Structure 1
Amino acid sequence: MALNEDLKREVGSIFSDRWGYRDGRIVPETKNVGEGNEGVRIEATILYADLSDSTELVDTYEDWRAAEIYKAFLRCCAKVIRSEGGEIRSYDGDRVMGLFLGDSKNTSAVRTALKINYAVKKIIQPAYNAQYPSKPIPIRHCVGVDTSPVMAVRAGIRGSNDIAWIGRAANHAAKLTSLPHTYASRITAAVYVQLKDNEKLGGPQRKPMWEKVNWTPMDNAEIYRSSWTWKV
């Protein structure tokens, strides 16, 4: 019964205690956010990069082979996120979350998405094929990007907690990665309208890199999808 009483007391406090907020200009660290009802609000662009078909991968192939693909994908994603000024804020199995702040946060996040697509197509897949020519595996992924105000809160228990990101950008960016991998990159309209022509038009003929579509499960929200790459 001790656990029952502890949970009732702590959940009651969560719902009854007043919240304290402060505005942030940098990505908060776990140690800088209180364990009570305290939040840090920031304007952020959030990117999720997810390895597609990972369930089939671990169900079908040796664990070490799947691990090599996981490691290669997450390593490239992390390096590209950092190279564009983003902060890595979580790894969750086969996906990584990047967080971008500042005036160029949307262009940086979009370049990151296109560069991850380049890394998968031009670096990871060729390297895998060269090492294992008799065991072909198509390596596919999805990246989602959204921008909005988000709130960072500290979640978990003492000695085992981390930052949770509350807001549309975190939720929608993650959901975009569940769409079919026929298009590697998807961004919301809120991100697209902030882009400059360099992130909208590509190639010598300056063709549109993004196609506008409706996100049917999300009240037909306007999103943009792309299969273009941006050389790393």
Structure 2
Amino acid sequence: METLASWLRRLGLDQYAPLLESHGIDLHSLPLLSEKDLVELGVRLGHRKLLLKAISTLNNDGRAAPPLSQPARDAERRQLTILFCDLVGSTQLTQQLDAEMLRNIMHAYQRTCADIVSRYAGHVAQYIGDGIVVYFGFPQAHEDDAERAVRAALDIVSAVGKIAGPTPLQVHIGIATGSVVVGDNGASDGSIWNSAVGETPNLGARLTALAGPDQIMVSLCTHRLLGNTFITEDLGEQMLLRACRASAPACRRVRTHKRARMVR
């Protein structure tokens, strides 16, 4: 059965899933929303129009017809820059906080990341527990997707640390660039129509695992595309990734202080 999150994902508006769900909105209550409601929720004008058009196609029982604004895509080969973001210490948070407080913090974290990703024209592909997977270069490609990804990562580190909670929140971020196959994966419900397949997602995930709290790790390919825009540290042989080809083992750490962004 389709969920609100999967329906929004097919519209390319999945960044609003945490926001709507935090207000108790699902596919059954969605048709009751007016444009005024969406304004009060903070949904942008263009996104409101897309949502209202798609809401009009919902059946009375809450089942969603395929959204017109996100046609099915055949799988295609693309160069993507993929950003992985994981929350530091989520297990400890689970043990320390009651369920309602934890839920509020997680929703604030997801909304914060999604809003930043949207500003840089990225696409939130998946929410996996406390992790977020973001594509830069799909569905829409830009010449500076690698730079957009790093700028988004720097803003995420800064913004997540300001989220109200028992202790300041921190993240691990890994960014990798490379060729993937992305598009329709054959799922009948369209819930993961845009999953990327290839070495690049694996590399990005491993870079995230190597990153310390509030650190951003980028692959060698990503670093080459960045030029001299950011200050980075060469981590050399200490960060060889055993599971990746010898041709792409190196990674660099982006410094997350103000001097790291030479051009805004």
Common fold by TM > 0.5: yes
Deviation at 1:162, TM superposition (A): 1.5
**In the alignment, is residue 226 of structure 1 matched against residue 254 of structure 2?**
yes
Report matched runs for 1:70-149 at 5 Å.
Answer: 70-101=106-137, 102-121=142-161, 123-124=162-163, 127-128=164-165, 136-149=166-179
- 8 Å Cα contact 2:112/2:159 also seen in 1: yes
Q: 106-115 or 219-228: which moved more?
A: 219-228
Give the equivalent residue in structure 2 for 1:197.
Answer: 228
Alpha-carbon shift at residue 211 of structure 1 (Å): 3.9
Q: Give 1:69 shift.
A: 2.1
How far apart are the structure 1 equivalents of 2:148 and 2:72? 26
Pairs aligned (count): 182
RMSD of the alignment, in Å? Answer: 2.6
173-182 or 47-56, larger mean C-alpha shift: 173-182
Q: Does the CA-based 8 Å contact 2:88-2:213 persist in structure 1?
A: no
Q: Any residues of structure 2 matched to 1:29-40 within 5 Å, and which? A: 31-33=71-73, 39-40=75-76
CA–CA distance in structure 2, aligned partners of residues 160 and 84 of structure 1: 25
1:210 corresponds to 2:233: yes
Q: Which has the higher strand share?
A: 1
Using the alignment, how far apart are the partners of 1:49 and 1:85 within structure 2? 17
Unaligned runs of 5+ in 2: 1-68
State the Cα distance separating 1:180 from its structure 2 match. Answer: 4.7
Contact 1:46 1:99 in 2 (8 A): yes
Give the 3 Å change call, closer, same or farther, for CA 33–58 of structure 1 in structure 2.
Answer: same
Based on CA coordinates, which of the two structures has the bigger radius of gyration?
1
CA distance in structure 2 between the partners assigned to 1:107 and 1:82 by the alignment:
14
How many angstroms does 1:106 deviate by?
Answer: 0.8
Quick check: 180-189 or 213-222, which moved more? 213-222
Please name the residue that 1:178 is paired with. 209
What is the DSSP-based 3-state SS (H/G/I as helix, E as strand, rest coil) of the residue aligned with 1:119? helix
C-alpha separation between the residues in 1 aligned to 2:81 and 2:209? 18
CA-to-aligned-CA distance 1:22-49 (integer Å, 9 cap, x gap): xxxxxxx985235xxxx21111111111
- Code of the residue aligned with 1:215 in structure 2: it is M
Question: Counterpart of 1:169 in structure 2: which amino acid?
Answer: T
In 2, Cα distance between equivalents of 1:141 and 1:194: 24
**Alpha-carbon distance between aligned partners in 1 of 2:186 and 2:99, rounded to the nearest angstrom:** 30
Cα contact 1:189–1:222 (8 A) shared by 2: yes
Pair 1:55-2:119 in alignment:
no
